[in-house]
Structure 1
Amino acid sequence: MLAQQQPIKSSDDDRIAWVRVSSVILPLANPISDAKVLTGRQKPMTEIAILFAEIETIDGHRGLGFSYSKRAGGPGQFAHAQEIAPALIGENPSDIAKLWTKLCWAGASVGRSGLSTQAIGAFDVALWDLKAKRANLSLARLLGAQRDSVRCYNTSGGFLHTPLDQLMKNTDFSREKGIGGIKLKVGQPDCAIDIQRVSTVRKHLGDHFPLMVDANQQWDRPTAQRMCRQFEAYNLIWIEEPLDCYDAEGHAALAVQFDTPIATGEMLTSVAEHAEFIKLRGADFLMPDAPRVGGITPYLKVAAMAEQAGLMLAPHFAMELHVHLAAAYPTEPWVEHFEWLEPLFNERLETRDGRMLVPTRPGLGLTLSEQVGPWTAQEAEVGIRP
């Protein structure tokens, strides 16, 4: 009989001994286009830069965290993370809020939002992963889970580069997988094409299957008014980013005027930016992104403000992380289903009856796959591995 593995002991004085940061370039199977491509502001997306942080303590506890950048920014995130990583060595890993502040001020001259805090996000997620593993709890349980599964919707099958016939097949595939909603990208230069695609998919799904649309910030205020009015007829769960992500007043005006909820927030990169949106009630559904806002520590502040304001929540992308965070939100949230990051990990999330099951493995419940090695562009270590 095999001897039962003993849990790693930990003292209150455990210290961070070793940190590794890695820049991993994840290739996408097909070039991805949304409205920002059709308006000429961006090129089709062919890869995602992932910033991984691995942390190990003197007592042998380990944590894994990540942040990411689409298109440009990956090398910058890695460079900033490499520069501030030494500040973690010798610190107590339980002091997560203190360490976030320390890392933030280490690079405060380049700002307390955007690329600099997104680099911090990888370390912050790793520290929360470590803390949950040390407690032998999933991250959701550590945070105080409200539910064991979360409503989920698919986005990856609804991009603008997808022909309409393939779009219909993608919606069927998502439903067969147990995914509970479909989101379509809109924002075509010819608005009639958007209306045709949404109308066709709504008819295909039926009147009541959850359907969302996302304009990716590409409408001006008059166009947003007209399109929101047109889309009222389709019983949508929300209309996402109809305006520039910093136009809180414009989003708030749409939220007041139309029955269809307005969703936004994924591009905001600080607690302060979210606070302004919440103050002006610029969203019915707030869509914070933990890696973009700087990790779990600031994300929890955003979620607390959203709860106090009575907002609904739908965290953006990175379902492997956000399924845990959404499970801890008091009112029923949505999680975005993107399979793009799956090749990075050995584990897979399960979907069933319209919902995503919250993993019960300790921490995030993730381990890196063998494919990460060949995709690693840069890596750096500080400290001495126990």
Structure 2
Amino acid sequence: MKITRIHARPVMVPLKRPPRAASGEIPEAPLVLIDLETDAGVVGCAYVFTFTRAMLAPTVGCLHALGDMIRGDALVPLEIEAKIRTRLTLLDTPGLVGIALAGIDMAAWDAHAKAQELPLVCALGGQIKPVRAYNSCGLWIDAPERVADDVEGLLAEGDFQALKVRIGRPDFAEDLDAVRRVKARIGDAVCLMSDFNQSLSMNEAILRGRALDDEGLYWIEEPIRHDNYTGCAKIASEVKTPIQIGENLLSPQEMQKAIAAQAADYYMPDVQRIGGVTGWLRAAALAHVHGLDMSSHLFPEISSHLLAVTPTCHWLEYMDWADAILAEPIRIESGHAVIPDRPGCGIAWDEDAVRQYLIE
């Protein structure tokens, strides 16, 4: 089976609860939909998230350029990934090029699993099983008195037992007020994660972290710039609440650097940042060797399969950002992601919706 084309389409997808974090707002989801086509008629599907509309066209260009490198190659995901990385040794693969490479890798693994008529998790040697999830679709930065208004709705969407609240307001008293209001509404039986979205200085992070230590938070995520591993390690040593990082790790090699620095208690790679399925599997091996709990960031459709084969599987971050263009969005039942029992990762496009949101 040989690759004939990479077809990439940019869309702007409406969001049910537009994100508003300390690092900025995202009114709509800019996604690039990827179809990896083969001469056997098998098509691998994946999508990537470009953060801003302005990056849609450059990402599409990167995907088509990388696709030209592998046209005619056999559908062997590990060989495809190695070839592209070798060809890009001097340029390297951070930023949009890395995202495009990860998107192709995800689509290649989807096609690989479809060719075997297996769900991705099974093609990777695992089995379908529930994956514990938390709802990350709400509790954004807002006036503290309004933050908790949607708690019941968020929990009810999949009988969730865990939520994430965003913090990082200029006035920490408002952060504390928001956390306490949410905790009062959910009680002790529901886990509450928190995320500063890289908004603090190291000293401020230590001060706020210590103040939050008695608030019953499950973790504190990305208090400072993501690649300041020494600073993260200092915070982790000074704050009792576990520190979570990892969504911005650009490779398994970067994850190894963070682990060596003892930068965090928990890690949550993002499949499009860490290098697609191939990069994820290497990162999961690192987490396993070091005995570190590993969660996911975004992309629940494919991350559920990957967490199911991750030895130190921790939490799946549930986000519904792609639901509007998916034929069958991932389901959450009893607080767990339900991995679909169909070939590939389960992604198929709702073509009517794609046409509606397509950017020409």
> What TM-score do the two structures reach when normalised by structure 2?
0.93
Structure 2 counterpart SS, 1:254: helix
Q: 2:342 aligns with which of 361, 379, 382?
A: 361
CA distance in structure 1 between the partners assigned to 2:126 and 2:146 by the alignment: 37
- CA distance in 1: counterparts of 2:270 and 2:117, whole angstroms: 25
Q: Which of the numbers 140, 144, 147 marks the counterpart of 1:167?
A: 147
Say which of 188, 198, 208 aligns to 1:207: 188
Alpha-carbon distance, 1:196 to partner: 0.5
CA contact (8 A) 1:110 1:116 kept: no
2:43 to 39, 43, 62: 62
Report the 3-state secondary structure (helix = DSSP H, G, I; strand = E; otherwise coil) of the residue aligned with 1:78: helix
Q: Is the 8 A contact 1:96 1:127 kept in 2?
A: yes
Q: What is residue 92 of structure 1 aligned with on the other side?
A: 74
Query: Is contact 1:51-1:122 (8 Å) kept?
Result: no
Task: Tell me whether 293-302 or 193-202 shows the greater mean CA deviation.
Answer: 293-302
Question: 2-side partners of 1:119 and 1:21: how far apart?
Answer: 10
Match of 2:13 in 1: 26
Q: 1:51 to 1:106 in 2, by over 3 A?
A: farther
Match of 1:371 in 2: 353
| Distance (Å, rounded) in 2 between the aligned partners of 1:210 and 1:147 | 25
Q: SS of 2:50's equivalent? A: strand
Is the 1:112–1:270 contact (alpha carbons within 8 Å) kept by the matching residues of 2? no
Q: Larger relative CO (CA 8 A, sep 6+): 1 or 2?
A: 1
Separation in structure 2 between the aligned mates of residue 222 and residue 18 of structure 1, nearest angstrom? 50
Q: How far is 1:146 from its partner? A: 6.1
What amino acid sits opposite 2:328 in the alignment?
A: E
Partner residue, 1:3:
none
1:166/1:148 CA distance change after superposition, 3 Å: farther
Contact persistence 1:84–1:107 (CA under 8 A): no
Larger Rg: 1
Q: How do residues 47-196 of structure 1 correspond to structure 2 at under 5 angstroms?
A: 47-71=28-52, 72-93=54-75, 95-145=76-126, 148-161=129-142, 163-164=143-144, 166-177=146-157, 178-196=159-177
Partners of 1:97 and 1:332 lie apart in 2 by: 23
| Partner-residue secondary structure (3-state), 1:323 | helix
Q: CA RMSD in A?
A: 1.8
Is the Cα–Cα contact under 8 Å of residues 119 and 294 in structure 1 kept in the other structure? no
Mapped partners of 2:36, 2:140: distance in 1: 36
SS of residue in 2 equivalent to 1:255? helix
Distance in 2, matches of 1:64 and 1:112, equals: 21
Please give the secondary structure, in 1, of the residue aligned with 2:47: strand
The one-letter code matched in structure 1 to 2:56 is G
Contact residue 114 and residue 270 of structure 1 kept, 8 A: no
Q: How many residues align?
A: 357
Map 1:222-371 to 2 at 5 A.
222-369=203-350, 370-371=352-353
Per-residue CA distance 1:101-143 (angstroms, 9 max, x = gap) = 2223444443222211111111111110011111121111222
Q: Secondary structure, in 3 states, of the residue corresponding to 2:23?
A: helix
Shifted more, 17-26 versus 227-236: the winner is 17-26
Q: Partners of 2:325 and 2:223 in 1: how far apart?
A: 32
Consecutive unaligned residues of structure 2, counting only runs of 5 or more, are none
TM-score normalised per structure 1: 0.87
CA distance in 2 between counterparts of 1:324 and 1:367 reads: 15
Q: Which amino acid aligns with 1:167?
A: V
SS in 2 for 1:217: coil
Are the structure 2 counterparts of residues 281 and 28 from structure 1 closer, same or farther at C-alpha, using a change threshold of 3 Å? same
Distance of aligned partners of 1:180 and 1:30 in 2 relative to their CA distance in 1, 3 Å threshold:
closer
Asked if the contact 1:243/1:251 (under 8 Å) is kept, the reply is: yes
CA–CA distance in 1 between the matches of 2:172 and 2:5? 53
Give the conservation status (yes or no) of the 8 Å contact 2:148–2:178.
no
- The 2-side partners of 1:291 and 1:363 are apart by 17
- For 2:43 and 2:169, the matched residues in 1 are separated by 46
The offset of 1:153, in angstroms, is 0.9
Change in Cα spacing, 1:59 to 1:32, as seen in structure 2 (3 Å) is closer
Q: Please give the per-residue CA displacement for 1:342-385, whole angstroms capped at 9, x wherever unaligned.
A: 0010102222222222221111112101211232225xxxxxxx
Percent of counterpart pairs with the same letter? Answer: 28
CA distance in 2, matches of 1:344, 1:257: 44
Q: Work out the CA distance in 2 between the residues paired with 1:311 and 1:146.
A: 22
- 1:211 to 1:29, Cα distance in 2 relative to 1, 3 A: closer
Shift of 1:63: 0.9
Tell whether the 8 Å contact from 2:5 to 2:71 is kept in structure 1 after alignment: yes
1:89 Cα deviation from its structure 2 partner: 1.5
Gaps of 5+ in 1: 1-13, 38-43, 379-386
Name the aligned partner's letter for residue 132 of structure 1: A
Distance, in Å, in 2 between the alignment partners of 1:220 and 1:342 is 35
CA distance in 1, matches of 2:215, 2:126: 33
